Amino acid sequence: MSSRAVEVAKGVPPLAPEREVIWPKPTREKLANGLQVILAESHSIPKFHGQLIFLSGNAAAADRAPGLAEMTATVVRTGTQRRASRQLEEDLRSIGADLSTEAGSDISAITFTGLSEFAEPLLDLVHELAREASFPEGEFERERRQKLEEVKLNRTQPSSLAGERLRKVLFGAHPYSQVSPSEAQVAAYKREDLQSVYREFYTPQNALLLLVGDFEPQEMLKDIKKVFGSWSGNKPPAKTYAETANPRGRRVYLVHMPGAVQTQILAGCHAITRKHPDWIKLGLTNTLYGGAFNSRLVMNIREDKGYTYSPRSSVNALRQHGYFSVSAAVRNEVVAASLTEMFYELDKLRALPVPESELADAQNYLSGVFSLGLATQDGLLSQFSNVAQNELPEDYLETYRAKVRAVTSEELLATARKYLDSANMQIVLAGDRAQIESQATLFGDVEIFDAQGNRLE
């Protein structure tokens, strides 16, 4: 709660009439081999951005080992049957391209950008990685060793540790509880395991190819058919995962980091997927709460109280589940005070309707920021990618802003009451136990872990 009255600005120019927001019409085609292609023009620079997405990620390989899809993606870019690692990197440079391979919980992806004049050689290279990765033994060993160091490093990083613990707490036996493998699990990765993930996941029936940029779509489609047309492979069998329920009752999980001069707070609960009909309402609720600079949480614990630099909240969507989270890195003395304010603002959203003017501000923010994505090739790509990956309706981009503006204050109250409840939030604190444990106990039973994930008494 603000301790000081807010003054209003004087003489602010009104907004001019809005210019129409027009999304480029994508060209969509499903090739005979099952590859779904989505192309959109954007001529801001003589380049294009692309993504080849496979609809299987770490969750689909979790029964084998945590992080296996990510390790597979890492090694994919280190060699093909035709090109060794060094050749691949030089070839990319010679056509001015950037490329990365990665996997998250639900997808694996090859993401790339390059000059329009060299579109065809770049598509060739992407195709080669998708189809002919050779997993050279030496490259695999090197990448595995690097992954080990990365895992160790992440265990020294407060926000990584907090994020990892929250996912464990929220998702239990479901693969979404795993965000990082242990050192022992990395050491046990086998090259053959990566190759079998590759064979199963990297198939045209399991893939989406999105390109946005400076090209003529019909010409590009011809190139794509030429390059990707002869590729074949089936969709991997669907997996079923363990059930997971939203934890009831508030608890505190303290990750002990000796000597930490600050505490990373991260609290969360289950929420919804992007396909859920409440998605926009919850997104707007989040904007008001802590999703924008001008949000209640930022104004309270940063601009009024100075507890933290970057407080924020977010709604995070995975394919099967979603979760809401709120975070802030605060000085050790104000951990309890910060949590109190976080929950005060959460409960206020459940207790009182949002004033109309504040609702209008949040609606303008969310719909305005959405259209900023129109101005850049990668902004457009991420919007089209979101629609395609989540199988959202084809008019999603065109209708989003109107849907945001149609939400009422009563609906927000109902949404907050349905999803956000301070009595059932799971709280993670990554910090020095000696300095914060007594504050932690004020908010529920406390379980303490070390950075390796071991329980401490």
Partner 1 sequence: MNRLQIAIEHKRLANGLHVVVAPDSTAPVVTVGVYYKIGFRLEPKGRSGFAHLFEHMMFQGSANAPKMQHIKLINSSGGVLNGSTSYDVTNYYESVPSNALERVLWLEADRMRALKVDDENLKNQRDVVKEEVRVNVMNEPYGGFPWLDMPPVAFRNWANAHNFYGDFADLDAAHLGDVQAFFKTYYVPNNAVLLLLGDVRPGEGMAFAEKHFSSIPAGPAPAFADPSEPEQNEERRGNVREQFGTLPAIAVGYLMPKRRTPDWCAMALLDQALHGGRAGRIHRELVLEKQIAVEVEGGVDDLFGYNGPTQMTTKILHKPELSSEAALTAFDAVICETQENGITAGELEQLKVKWRSDYYATLESGRGGYMPKYGLMHLLACFTLFDNEPQLVNTILDGFTAVTPEKVHEVARKYLCNEKRAIVFRTPARNSLPAGAGVQEAA
Stretch that binds partner 1, among 151-159, 239-247, 268-276, 316-324 (CB under 8 A): 151-159
| Among 336, 373, 390, 424, interactor with partner 1 by CB under 8 A | 373
User: Residue 441 and residue 437: Cα distance in Å, rounded?
Assistant: 6
Strands 455-456 and 445-449: antiparallel
Q: Give the chain as a 3 state SS string.
A: CCCCCCCCCCCCCCCCCCCCCCCCCCEEEECCCCCEEEEEECCCCCEEEEEEEECCCHHHHCCCCCCHHHHHHHHHCCEECCCEHHHHHHHHHHCCCEEEEEECCCCEEEEEEEEHHHHHHHHHHHHHHHHHECCCHHHHHHHHHHHHHHHHHHCCCHHHHHHHHHHHHHHCCCHHHCCCCCHHHHHCCCHHHHHHHHHHHCCHHHEEEEEEECCCHHHHHHHHHHHHCCCCCCCCCCCCCCCCCCCCCCEEEEEECCCCCCEEEEEEEECCCCCCCCHHHHHHHHHHHHHCCCCHHHHHHHHHCCCECCCEEEEEECCCCEEEEEEEEECHHHHHHHHHHHHHHHHHHHHCCCCHHHHHHHHHHHHHHHHHHHHCHHHHHHHHHHHHHCCCCCCHHHHHHHHHHHCCHHHHHHHHHHHCCHHHCEEEEEECHHHHHHHHHHHCEEEEECCCCCEEC
Closer CB to partner 1, 260 or 271, in the complex: 260
Binders in 314-353 for partner 1, by CB under 8 A: 329-331
Only segment of 53-61, 148-156, 235-243, 418-426 that touches partner 1 (CB under 8 A): 148-156
Q: Is 18 in the site for partner 1 (CB under 8 A)?
A: yes
Residue 448 is a binding residue for partner 1 (CB under 8 A): yes
Positions in 265-294 near partner 1 (CB under 8 A): 292-294
Listed ranges 83-91, 229-237, 415-423, 437-445: which one lies at the site for partner 1 (CB under 8 A): 83-91
Q: Is 47 in the site for partner 1 (CB under 8 A)?
A: yes
For position 454 contacting partner 1 by CB under 8 A, the verdict is yes
237 binds partner 1 (CB under 8 A): no
Which one, 6 or 238, has the nearer CB to partner 1?
A: 6
Binding to partner 1 by residue 221, rule CB under 8 A?
A: no
Query: How far apart are alpha carbons 422 and 349 in whole angstroms?
Result: 11
Is 114 a residue that touches partner 1 (CB under 8 A)? yes
Q: Which stretch binds partner 1 (CB under 8 A): 2-10, 56-64, 276-284, 342-350?
A: 2-10
Give whichever of 95 and 413 is closer to partner 1, judged by the CB atom.
95
- Residue 46 as a binder of partner 1 (CB under 8 A): the answer is yes
> Judged by CB under 8 A, which of 25, 32, 96, 393 binds partner 1?
96
Q: Contact region for partner 1 (CB under 8 A) — 55-63, 304-312, 387-395, 410-418? A: 304-312
Q: How far is the CB of 262 from partner 1 (least distance, A)?
A: 4
Task: By CB under 8 A, tell whether 247 contacts partner 1.
Answer: no
Options 37-45, 59-67, 270-278, 418-426: segment touching partner 1 (CB under 8 A): 37-45
> In the window 116-145, what residues touch partner 1 (CB under 8 A)?
142, 145
Determine the Cα–Cα distance for residues 410 and 394; give it in Å rounded to an integer. Answer: 28
How many other CB atoms sit within 10 Å of the CB of residue 199?
11
Q: According to the binding rule CB under 8 A, does residue 355 interact with partner 1?
A: no
Nearer to partner 1, 361 or 411 (CB): 361
Nearer to partner 1, 7 or 192 (CB): 7
Q: Which segment (63-71, 277-285, 373-381, 386-394) binds partner 1 by CB under 8 A?
A: 373-381
402 lines the binding site for partner 1 (CB under 8 A): no
The Cα 31–Cα 221 span in angstroms is 10
Q: How far is the CB of 427 from partner 1 (least distance, A)?
A: 16
Work out whether 309 is an interface residue with partner 1 (CB under 8 A). yes
Stretch that binds partner 1, among 50-58, 225-233, 272-280, 362-370 (CB under 8 A): 362-370
Q: In which order are the strands placed within the sheet that holds 108-115?
A: 27-30, 36-41, 207-213, 47-54, 108-115, 98-103
Q: Residue 230, interface with partner 1 (CB under 8 A)?
A: no
Q: Which of 56, 108, 262, 415 binds partner 1 (CB under 8 A)?
A: 262
- Considering only residues 168-207, where is the footprint of partner 1 by CB under 8 A? 168
Q: Does the protein bind partner 1 through residue 456 (CB under 8 A)?
A: yes
Calpha distance 146→58 (Å, rounded): 19
Residue of the chain from 43, 82, 239, 248 that contacts partner 1 (CB under 8 A):
43
